[in-house]
Structure 1
Amino acid sequence: MRTKVALIAHDRRKPEMIALCRDYQEMLAQEELVATKGTGGLIEELTGLHVTRVNSGEKGGDLQIGSMIASDQIKAVVFLRDPLTAHPHEPDINAVLKICDINDVPLATNISTARLVLAHLKDLQDIEEPPAT
């Protein structure tokens, strides 16, 4: 059963990830979040959201998240990548992209698509738990 939302960001995109998490903080607080070590640590520190952290990208954290995708544990991935200046120590999008496509898991690689994916998850939360009247 897909339960988690995965969050990964290259170094230059971490500030955007933090802003995104703040914008969707109420919705994300209702989700089980998993992130690579650096991204997850910043999210926890700067937003107060609880994040399960896997290894850093350079130590295979992206592959750990890929394994969760393959095991049907991830319902969406936000991977804010830096297509122009990604460094060798940063997570690789290719393996995550491939496993998301194989398993039909939404993958946002830029802020605009991330907002669409998170807005959809919020809509699903509203359907599952309608507001009290």
Structure 2
Amino acid sequence: MEYIDQPIAAQKRVALVAHDNRKASLIEWCQKHRAVLEQHQLLGTGTTGSKIEAATGLAVEKLFSGPMGGDQQLGAKICQGEVDILIFFWDPFEPMPHDPDVKALLRIAAVWNIPVACNGSSADMMIHSALMERSFSRLVPDYQGYLDSRKAETAV
């Protein structure tokens, strides 16, 4: 796979997700960083997004709940270039019935080179990065080049 540069704007599109046992921690983290987060576009899976919005007053675009397909919706938004950062407080101690969905979300975030924070410490490092306030470029798969090469292969 070839890669191309893709710019990320100064105003980030930040996805917020948390397992049930980690929702309170993510809400607390959002309250602590409200001043930074309100400068960006936020989206989240249904329950998490609703709880963050209610607790902080931050506007959050809400997708479906994770077990109802929200993780896949979020993955699709990553593929479409509509998410710049994923903050996902997952619970390493509780098995989740939708665990394959979670793994797929983390995989697609890696494929599309999305910065991912899975706990408060990594989220703190990410949100305090100088890159949070300015545009920068990241390498992503050259999907159009991939399609073009596939067409060329089938034409032969």
TM class by shorter chain equals 0.7 to 0.9
2:116 is equivalent to residue 124 of structure 1: no
How far residue 52 of structure 1 moved from its aligned partner, in angstroms, is 0.2
How far residue 126 of structure 1 moved from its aligned partner, in angstroms, is 4.2
2:29 is equivalent to residue 20 of structure 1: yes
| Partner of residue 84, structure 1 | 93
CA distance in 1 between partners of 2:13 and 2:134 (Å): 18
CA distance in 1 between partners of 2:100 and 2:48 (Å): 11
| Partner of residue 131, structure 1 | none
Name the SS of the counterpart of 2:86 in structure 1. Answer: strand
Higher relative contact order (CA closer than 8 Å, sequence separation 6+): 2
Hey, which bits of structure 1, 4+ residues long, moved more than 2 A?
A: 89-93, 123-128
AA aligned to 1:93 is: V
TM-score, normalising length: structure 1: 0.86
Give structure 1 stretches of 5+ with no counterpart: 129-133
| Partner of residue 38, structure 2 | 29
TM-score, normalising length: structure 2: 0.74
Task: Check conservation: 1:69, 1:103, Cα contact below 8 A.
Answer: yes
Q: Do the aligned partners of residues 87 and 102 (structure 1) sit closer, same or farther apart at CA in structure 2, a change above 3 Å counting?
A: closer
| Partner of residue 151, structure 2 | none
1:30-79 per-residue CA deviation (whole Å, 9 max, x = no partner) reads: 11100001000110100000000000011110110100111111110001
Q: Which structure is larger by alpha-carbon Rg, 1 or 2?
A: 2
What is the correspondence of 1:27-66 to structure 2 with a 5 Å cutoff?
A: 27-66=36-75
Give structure 2 stretches of 5+ with no counterpart: 1-6, 136-156
